[in-house]
Structure 1
Amino acid sequence: MKFTVRRVAGPSRRHLRGQAVIWLMGTMVACAAILYGVFSTAQITVAKQRTINAADAAALAASTVQARVLNLAAYNNRAMVANEAFLIQMLSIESWLQYFGTTANNFGTLADIVGIFIPPIEVIGQILDKLATATNKVHDVLVKVDDKAIIPLIEASKYALVNAHMAVIKVGGVLAEDAATKVVEANRTNFGTHEDVGVEIDKRPKVRAATFIANEKDWLNFTTQYTGAGRKDSAEVVLESRDRFSAERNGKWYFNLNAGLVGTEKRGGSTLKDFNHWETEDTLELWEKVPCKSGMCKEYQPIGWGRSNADKNGSAGEVWEPKRMAQKFAYEEATSHGGNGGKFMNWSGVPEVWDVKDKSAKARATLGVDFIVATRKSRAAVLTTNQMGMGEDTPAVTGSGDMKERAEADQYTALAKSRVFFERPQRGLANDKTGGPLWRPDNAKEYGSLFSPYWQARLTDLTPLEKAGMLAAMDMLPDKVLYTPGGQDKP
């Protein structure tokens, strides 16, 4: 069988030469255009993210500074309360020593009289007399220490801490602003003599009015100094800080005997009058029931007594129960010592502490301080293809290469808000691994005050109203609240 091969007419190799180059060039142009767009998009995205990160970091840094200022104030308030608790301890010890000395002296005198008829009892009387003498010497030393050292030191410390509070709280907002600015500046790249423009705090007047001035106003309005009759909370904290000995010294059962018609009663403790006067007192009395109009009434006979006072002018205070002789003797004992014991001068009263201004029940759940930051990065500082001169408009027959990016006001802007809030760890919180040492013994919910150092900082979202105000300050239309990230939280 015979086969015949036929040739099909077609383009010659000479005619096909160069077609691959055309396709390659077209592909390279398409790839360059894609790379052009991807590079610029990536640079813009990075610029936006850095602007956002700088704003978040600045806001959190500012609130962290404010939280630390509030915690410092809380520690200082606690120091003042501890000093006041120490003062009342010393006054209580002095009162008790007076009481112990008079009791020992009176029992010693009684033992001396009985010892005339029962000689062995005279030895007990002599021991009690020596014990009373020794107690009185210790008491006299303690009076001088209280008068010359303890009260002056407590007052000097109080004065220093109160004024330090005023200074720190007044500049707390400025310190927070400085922290925010430095954090933003730290985002700039510096190498050699070149400094990248980078992200900066938006310092245009209207923006500063909506951020710095508003932040400063919010900070200064958050706390206030409580003076005069406004020291109720401060006094309550001081009273609750007393130890059992300072607060109540009514004695054990063997000092409070009850044999029906006769018995003994030990009373003692401390009381604060009008925020400016401490009174401490101790008495031991013998009582007996005697007939009276209402039946049988107790009639008290003094055995031992002691008292100590402190205020600005060294006043004697008041008799706790005028109908009982031991109370009168205690009052007279304090009065008779004058400036050398029993009553002390130059105590200025309960400290005039700084604390949160709004203590209403309505404010408790949302108590805190807000801080808003606006950062910006100029479009000219973002190295896009357009900034490198690759997107210039040319009259080429292939068309224009103009692909300029668009940015309102020629800048990239970010808003951030942080909040200082109070939260003390509570028992039973989920995933709380370290809060055990901080739990309250009564497991109660604790609300914010400047007596507890549990102020913290966190980022939060702007309210729509806040964001609209910021956009207006930036000369932007407030409608962007509806379709830009953030600012959707309800007020």
Structure 2
Amino acid sequence: MKRSARKDRARVASASGQALVPALIFLLVGGISVYVAFNSFQLTSAKIKLQNTADAAAYSAAMLQARDYNFTAYANRAMVANQVTAAQIVGLKSWIDELDNRYTYIPGQSDADDMINAFADHPEKWTGPKSRGKAEIAPVRATLDALLPVVAKDIGTIIHGLSTAQINFHAGVFTAVPQAANAVAQQSQKDTHVTEGYFVSPRNAYQLAAWKTYTRIASPAGTINKDHFADVVTDRDTLDPFTKNRRSTGSTAPDYQQINDTAGKICRRGDSGTIIGRVSHEGGTQLRRDKKGWQAIDVSYTTLTVSCLPDLGLLTAGRAGAANGKLPMYRGVPTFLTSAPFVSFENDWTGYGGYYNFGADSSGRPGIVPNAMATQIAVGPGIVMDPANGGLQPYQDLPGKPLAAEAPRITIELERQSDTLTATPGIQGGGRMRVAPSTAGDVLRALSSANAYFMRPNEGPTGSTKSGSLSYSRFWSRVDGKTEYPSMFNPYWQVRLAPVSDSERKAAWKDQISTPVSR
């Protein structure tokens, strides 16, 4: 009995070690599987991170593109506002000079003054208000004479500065994009960078050319062609009424620039003869057709009626002019004439945007104006404010009439060396168990595209804003319900990621496969 028990225990002891072999095999296979899975997971994780980094870099590059267009829009709008101010300054100078000239009484200078002094029984009814009017405007005239030329030159300097700033900013964006994309990539992953030479490589040539030609630098001054900036600045809603047309009556209550008196001196009928005089004013400011500056003329004329005389017509009461920009010279003085001494009614009386006759446009024809205005255009504008920067300055614009809302795509290619993928190099193993990177060219690369796009929402028939998920769109949507197309005058450029084209992927794959493997 005892012997049999010992044999049974020996048999059990010898059988208990047989499970260790498969267990060890299982552990070995499991360890290898975990090891391989770990390396595979690292590679997959690196690819995901690299793609996310490429997306961030491309989005940042497109952000620069959108900022370029928005900065241009703000600069263009600022230039428009300052050009309107320049036109107002030119018009104000012409207006105050004409008013002062009208109130100045110099014998022999004004036909109306001379006739009223000769015919009216009480000419002081005419000359008295003129003297009071001149005294009242004297401090205003002195202030404007000192202020307006300085302001005109300052406005011109601001416009020139805005023009230069937007052109330089646009040029700087092209050089900043690769550096910005690379900086974003390295902030996200320090071992990642933009593929060297990618932006100037043949693979990116078409895209870069499309981006560079999407906008253009327009130089409107010196041409008589249609121009987008000139259209905006001369729009009827852009210019104020004072600039466009200063038509008014100079006979304001109680007694300025009017007379109603007896004319016994000429009629010789006692008190039965009458003389009646009323003053009217014409004036306006126009952008020259060649867009080299603003020009203004203001005139006043007297409608004088003497009961015993035939119609005397319109007699000059006052005239003046002003301009900015470089004007043609005639007989040593600046002139309004396109090519002195005279070209045509069309050329010399018509401004850009359909304005003509400097506000005296009731005739319906260029050049049909009061004699005082014709005389003023012949003698020239007088003072020329800001001759250096008076005309329209160069600006950035979209050529043609773009209907598509998207700007050209910007594609970023990032790469990361394969030997940086494993955070723990010792885990790669050694000898036959070593797991080496299997990336082409010993690099891992990722592509991502993004672009700026133009979007201004509009309100539907019910007043609800058709804007999708745009933030605060109700504050900047169009209330007329119309679709607004891309332009360099409205800052509604935003950014989004865009699909990478198949041709770009194939080109990137081919370039990476052909990269020599370094060992």
TM-score between the two structures when normalised by the length of structure 1: 0.73
Alignment of 1:307 with 2:299, yes or no, is no
**Deviation for aligned residue 1:180:** 0.4
Among 427, 451, 463, the alignment partner of 1:419 is: 451
Partner of 2:487: 449
Partner of 2:394: 353
**Do the aligned partners of 1:206 and 1:474 also contact (CA within 8 Å) in 2?**
no
AA paired with 2:400? S
SS at match of 2:452: strand
Structure 1: distance between partners of 2:69 and 2:424: 49
Q: More deviation in 150-159 or 58-67?
A: 150-159
AA paired with 1:374? E
Among 231, 240, 245, the alignment partner of 1:243 is: 240
Closer, same or farther: CA 207–434 of 1 in aligned 2, 3 Å: closer
Closer, same or farther: CA 217–381 of 1 in aligned 2, 3 Å: same
Q: More deviation in 121-130 or 433-442?
A: 121-130
Closer, same or farther: CA 327–115 of 1 in aligned 2, 3 Å: closer
Partner of 1:316: 336
**Deviation for aligned residue 1:462:** 2.0
Partner of 2:475: 437
Structure 1: distance between partners of 2:193 and 2:422: 17
Closer, same or farther: CA 265–111 of 1 in aligned 2, 3 Å: closer
**Deviation for aligned residue 1:461:** 1.0
Structure 1: distance between partners of 2:385 and 2:198: 57
Structure 2: distance between partners of 1:417 and 1:207: 13
Structure 1: distance between partners of 2:199 and 2:279: 75
Partner of 1:172: 173
**Deviation for aligned residue 1:239:** 1.6
**Deviation for aligned residue 1:276:** 1.5
Partner of 1:397: none
**Deviation for aligned residue 1:328:** 2.9
Matches within 5 A, 1:72-471: 72-102=71-101, 126-135=128-137, 138-139=140-141, 141-147=143-149, 149-189=150-190, 198-203=191-196, 205=197, 208-210=200-202, 216-227=208-219, 228-229=222-223, 232-240=227-235, 241-251=238-248, 266-273=281-288, 274-284=290-300, 300-302=314-316, 305-313=319-327, 314-317=334-337, 318=348, 320=357, 321-322=367-368, 324-331=370-377, 335=380, 338=382, 341=383, 343-344=384-385, 346-357=387-398, 359-361=399-401, 363-383=402-422, 388-390=427-429, 392-393=431-432, 401=433, 406-427=438-459, 428-429=465-466, 430-440=468-478, 442-471=480-509
Partner of 2:50: 51
**Deviation for aligned residue 1:201:** 1.7
**Do the aligned partners of 1:311 and 1:347 also contact (CA within 8 Å) in 2?**
yes
The Cα offsets for residues 202-261 of structure 1, whole Å up to 9 and x where unpaired, read as 21x578514666665444333322123267112122223322322233349999xxxxxx
SS at match of 2:227: helix
Q: More deviation in 280-289 or 460-469?
A: 280-289
Structure 1: distance between partners of 2:312 and 2:489: 45
Structure 2: distance between partners of 1:78 and 1:66: 19
* Aligned length, in residue pairs: 430
**Deviation for aligned residue 1:88:** 0.8
**Do the aligned partners of 2:192 and 2:415 also contact (CA within 8 Å) in 1?**
yes
**Do the aligned partners of 2:89 and 2:152 also contact (CA within 8 Å) in 1?**
no
SS at match of 1:416: strand
RMSD: 4.1
**Do the aligned partners of 2:287 and 2:293 also contact (CA within 8 Å) in 1?**
yes
Structure 2: distance between partners of 1:437 and 1:103: 49
**Do the aligned partners of 2:405 and 2:454 also contact (CA within 8 Å) in 1?**
no
**Do the aligned partners of 1:151 and 1:347 also contact (CA within 8 Å) in 2?**
no
Closer, same or farther: CA 384–183 of 1 in aligned 2, 3 Å: closer
AA paired with 1:280? A
The Cα offsets for residues 373-413 of structure 1, whole Å up to 9 and x where unpaired, read as 111122222218886342642xxxxxxx5665532223221
Closer, same or farther: CA 69–96 of 1 in aligned 2, 3 Å: same
The Cα offsets for residues 250-291 of structure 1, whole Å up to 9 and x where unpaired, read as 349999xxxxxx9986543221122114222344556699xx
Q: Structure 1: where are the runs of 5+ without partners?
A: 1-8, 190-197, 256-261, 290-296, 394-400, 478-491
Q: More deviation in 262-271 or 225-234?
A: 262-271
**Do the aligned partners of 1:276 and 1:350 also contact (CA within 8 Å) in 2?**
yes
Structure 1: distance between partners of 2:40 and 2:511: 28
SS at match of 1:383: coil
**Do the aligned partners of 2:153 and 2:389 also contact (CA within 8 Å) in 1?**
no
Structure 2: distance between partners of 1:200 and 1:171: 21
Structure 1: distance between partners of 2:279 and 2:478: 39
AA paired with 1:134? E
Instruction: Report percent identity of matched pairs.
Output: 19
**Deviation for aligned residue 1:415:** 0.6
**Do the aligned partners of 1:97 and 1:136 also contact (CA within 8 Å) in 2?**
no
Closer, same or farther: CA 444–81 of 1 in aligned 2, 3 Å: same
Partner of 1:42: 41
Partner of 2:62: 63
**Deviation for aligned residue 1:116:** 7.8
**Deviation for aligned residue 1:43:** 0.4
**Do the aligned partners of 1:386 and 1:404 also contact (CA within 8 Å) in 2?**
no
Structure 2: distance between partners of 1:253 and 1:26: 112
**Do the aligned partners of 2:218 and 2:397 also contact (CA within 8 Å) in 1?**
no
Q: More deviation in 219-228 or 269-278?
A: 219-228
The Cα offsets for residues 354-382 of structure 1, whole Å up to 9 and x where unpaired, read as 3235x234x43155132211111222222
